[in-house]
Structure 1
């Protein structure tokens, strides 16, 4: 029996894609190599654009309840507080952008929320399923697992992280560079002796240092550390205690519990391809990066959000398979830009703020973006569709769901939610908004709209 989509990896990417496909009635299964969800806090920043995505998917209230705002950074030296620094440049909220600040949620909590929503939507995750091989033919993909079983799917998505088994099976390379030669570590700890109102930073004189951030919604702190080149990180409780004692005024015994730890060396690399036949790469399987600036999990979620509606259109709405080519066309340039941004933030060249909230990302150069107005002004094809109100209706409420939305038309269009106007902030025109909240088509009237709708499987 052949399923529609096999999703390899139950991280934020795979779970988001699973939710989006489930609400479209697509038969998809998420398989995960480990026996449970990821246990650490690693990707803890939910950027404003991702909050908009999560609102559409029905999880934003739970996400916000699971976390909290970022605290101000407190700088320490020789056991004394020497100054405060805001973590982010302020971004002013307006009607078009209701969320402008990152929200802190430990990654394990984000994944719990996404998993619960996936199950609620009728999706499923098979844990303890390690992929060992993958082949494809004209009809589908065959995936082999360590337990000797094989499954067939019309399409497969690699959402299995930076060491992706699917990417290796496809022979897709990664091109990139080392961002920083120093070893880094991150750990979730419980400790005493620090307030939970600040992100405590303890810089060393040689560019090394540690920081201890209270994890909103938990009793834990996230420890992040940059070590001297040539140092081998010690991820044991004893090793973490020694590190804290060496860089802070706390005693080793003030670290009362180690809950999770990992080490890494920051690298920025991009998969050479995001699509190979019936297999598509998403999330860290397609791009790895420095965690600075909180871009990785967010970019990964938006990979899934871009891909979900396209897979749904091909599998359920009769759209041509070529629509899936636009996934790489749109997401690979965005991922490349994200790698440069993360590296810039890591090296102190780019501030956290307007550049990192991801509200300005779009697809103006995409073949799916058709701007047909004689004199384009305001929001253009390929732009994120801002929030606003039309006849008392909030646009984000109108957009919510797996459908397309047409603003500025009065004639019904089959399969499309129609509103009679667009907000003045959009400028003049008729705007067709994609299921992922980006403007696909803009015209002075609806002339030519039918041909575009046929391209994406709506006619």
Structure 2
């Protein structure tokens, strides 16, 4: 199994595969790991994904769940707001807020998980091309090495070599004149306890301080030349932009470690799969930065694809299971393009009003918690409940026979299916499924406060089968054992 690209998407996919015992190689064109902060936010759903790998608590210690927005208009201070102060943890949502931290921290944590399975990213390995037939892919590196693989996944970004070699159209539009300059800077003279946001008719300047560092992420509209074209960013240009927006000379750029330009690009790959070669992350979709969904959508692509490839490669499912990856994830990407494009327009329009900041893009759509696959061929409903097959499977606290709290997410963690039997014994099943009885049967777990039943909308006896990516596969009545067995047989026959 070969993964091209060692960003969050490729690393999430690699961790999922390696955890299932699949041999995997991850190659990265760059000679070293990326150092720029780039994406700086994990949404609640991505935190749930990473918790399954055991790294979310560590990441929470390295970032910030809440951030005060300090807002200015035409250089004048307007107000401080905390758009997250009303968000509380609930039994079904353990991570209700997103997490602000540099993308590099996420990648480092995922590389450490991967190393625990004996897999290291191979740096300085550039993909030159590949061929495929019905049984395998043969990748060619620029060094001349050939790598045979069962499948190849391109996680190599918006300029994806894999996508271009496949000849897949990257449909959409771009605007090279609408741009933002971004970078990581060392600053003097600015209070680090706030996300400073300046808006005016001249555009925007955003300065975000990273936790436990002296680094700030700089985002702003670019300077322009006499012809109105964006000027290439530089430390001196950053300083001029700061003075222009703030009207202050005491806020000084004393160092830069990463500088780049972001341009509006809204594109979606026409297809996600050609034979044994697939696309994920920015290689499959790019969209505006509003809402911070880029890194998150890629992580969730890798999460969805990982268990499916793993099941096929370990003989637990037929090869047709892989077709459910584009079936499920491409519509999500299309919806994400709509959400982020609308959010970008909203920011541009409403930021002209004093006191309005980036909180205008916050919505249920940006949390990732509402993403589901009810349309999927893998979704089988037998109950008419609040939750349906394809939806995210919520968390909830249960109690074991000794009074210890056992969370549903702890039961889900891993690459197995989970069968929850509410009010009835859990059937004994062969294959990659673990069954747990709730409030009945042998050695049950207890839903004493009813949190699990409320989260799943279940009143009487029922069976709920949860996929390895923590989405509901099937719901059935307590007599639905054969429906569960049939579902697992169907996976093997795909």
Question: 1:180, CA displacement in angstroms?
Answer: 8.6
Contact 2:197 / 2:206 at 8 angstroms: preserved in 1? yes
CA RMSD of aligned residues (A): 2.0
Matches of 2:83 and 2:131, distance apart in 1? 46
Query: Which stretch shifts more, 411-420 or 243-252?
Result: 243-252
In the other structure, the counterpart of 2:468 is 435
2:262 corresponds to which of 261, 264, 289: 264
Of 349, 364, 368, the residue aligned with 2:374 is: 364
Q: Which secondary structure state, in structure 1, belongs to the residue aligned with residue 271 of structure 2?
A: coil
Worse overlay, 118-127 or 14-23? 118-127
Secondary structure, in 3 states, of the residue corresponding to 2:361?
coil
Identify the match of residue 215 of structure 1 among 210, 213, 221: 210
Contact 1:34 1:129 in 2 (8 A): yes
CA distance in 1, matches of 2:453, 2:493: 27
Determine whether 1:227 maps to 2:218.
no
1:27 has 2:34 as partner:
no
Q: Point out where structure 1 has 5 or more consecutive residues left out of the alignment.
A: none
CA–CA separation in structure 1 for the residues paired with 2:420 and 2:493 = 17
Between the two proteins, the alignment pairs up a number of residues equal to 452
Cα distance in 1 between the residues matched to 2:126 and 2:197:
39
**Residue 56 of structure 1, aligned match among 49, 52, 57:** 52
- Whether the 8 Å contact between 2:75 and 2:245 is mirrored in structure 1 is no
Q: For the residues of structure 1 that align with 2:182 and 2:192, how far apart are their CA atoms?
A: 18
Equivalent residue of 1:210, what SS? strand
| Match of residue 330 from structure 2 | 332
The structure with more radius of gyration: 2
Partner of 2:362: 352
Question: 1:452 corresponds to which residue?
Answer: 487
1:73 aligns with 2:69: yes
Q: 1:190 to 1:458 in 2, by over 3 A?
A: farther
Residues 179, 290 of structure 1: 8 Å contact kept? no
Cα separation, 1, equivalents of 2:92 and 2:324: 26
- Whole-angstrom CA distance in 1 between matches of 2:265 and 2:74: 32
Say if 1:268 and 1:252 are closer, same or farther in 2 by CA, change over 3 A: farther
Q: Per-residue CA shift, 1:315-374, capped at 9, x if unaligned?
A: 00341111000000000001111111111111117631322111011011100000023x
Cα distance in 1 between the residues matched to 2:212 and 2:317 = 43
| Counterpart position of 2:350 | none
Structure 1 residues 107-122: aligned runs within 5 Å: 107-122=103-118
Structure 1 residues 351, 79: closer, same or farther in 2, change over 3 A? closer
1:10 maps to 6
State the alpha-carbon separation in 2 of the partners of residues 296 and 37 from structure 1.
Answer: 19
Q: 2:65–2:98: 8 Å Cα contact kept in structure 1?
A: yes
SS in 2 for 1:188: strand
Distance 1:176 1:203, change over 3 A: same
Q: CA deviation at 1:74?
A: 1.2
Which of 428, 453, 465 aligns to 1:424? It is 453
- Structure 1 residues 339 and 91: alpha-carbon distance in aligned structure 2, compared to 1, 3 A threshold: farther
Residue 384 of structure 1 is matched in structure 2 by: 392
SS of equivalent to 1:284: helix
Partners of 1:23 and 1:201 lie apart in 2 by 42
Q: Tell me, yes or no, if the aligned pair for 1:105 and 1:217 is still in contact at 8 Å.
A: no
**Cα displacement string for residues 369-392 of structure 1 (whole angstroms, at most 9, x for unaligned residues):** 00023xx11321111000013344
Cα distance change on mapping 1:200 and 1:141 into 2, 3 Å = same
CA distance in 1, matches of 2:396, 2:65: 24
Specify the alignment match of 2:238 in structure 1: 240
The alpha carbon displacement at 1:47 in A equals: 0.4
Offset at 1:30? 0.4
| 1:193 to 1:381, Cα distance in 2 relative to 1, 3 A | same
Q: Aligned with 1:133: secondary structure?
A: strand
1:410 corresponds to: 426
* Long gaps (5+) in structure 2: 348-359, 401-405, 439-446
Q: Counterparts of 1:195 and 1:145 in 2: how far apart (Å)?
A: 48
SS of residue paired to 2:79: strand
1:121-152 CA distance string (max 9 Å, x none): 22221100011112111111111111111111
d(CA) in 2 for partners of 1:17, 1:9: 11
The alpha-carbon distance between structure 1 residues 17 and 352, as it changes in their structure 2 partners (threshold 3 A), is same
| Equivalent in the alignment of 2:310 | 312
In 1, the alpha carbon distance for the partners of 2:243 and 2:276 equals 52
* Structure-2 separation of matches of 1:46 and 1:369: 27
